[in-house]
């Protein structure tokens, strides 16, 4: 496995851990669906997006869902 693939998997693991912490904080969030929006400059956005399906590469937003937590990555315009 390439080093950047491993690094990206580590970052995804971190997002999953944060999502788990959010879901476990039911006292504050209740049973709501949470959306975390991440606005990225084009170079960073493209760098993240290239780790996913090629069909999505022309999109200006995409989602990664972990249970009731959804990370929405948006191209900053």
What is the domain extent for residue 12? 3-75
Per-residue model confidence as pLDDT tens digits over 14-32: 999 999 999 888 788 788 8
Selected residue with higher pLDDT from 6 and 58: 58
Statement: residue 2 has pLDDT above 60: no
The C-alpha atoms of residue 25 and residue 11 are separated, in whole angstroms, by: 22
The C-alpha atoms of residue 38 and residue 35 are separated, in whole angstroms, by: 10
Predicted structure pTM score: 0.80
Q: Based on the structure, what is the number of domains in the chain?
A: 1
């Amino acid at each position: 496995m390439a080093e950047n693939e491993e690094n990206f998997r580590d970052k995804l693991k971190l997002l999953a851990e944060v999502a788990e912490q959010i879901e476990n904080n039911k006292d504050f969030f209740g049973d709501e669906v949470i959306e975390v929006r991440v606005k990225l400059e084009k170079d960073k956005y493209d760098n993240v997006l290239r780790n996913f399906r090629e069909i999505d590469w022309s999109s200006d937003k995409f989602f990664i869902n972990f249970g009731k937590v959804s990370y929405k990555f948006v191209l900053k315009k």
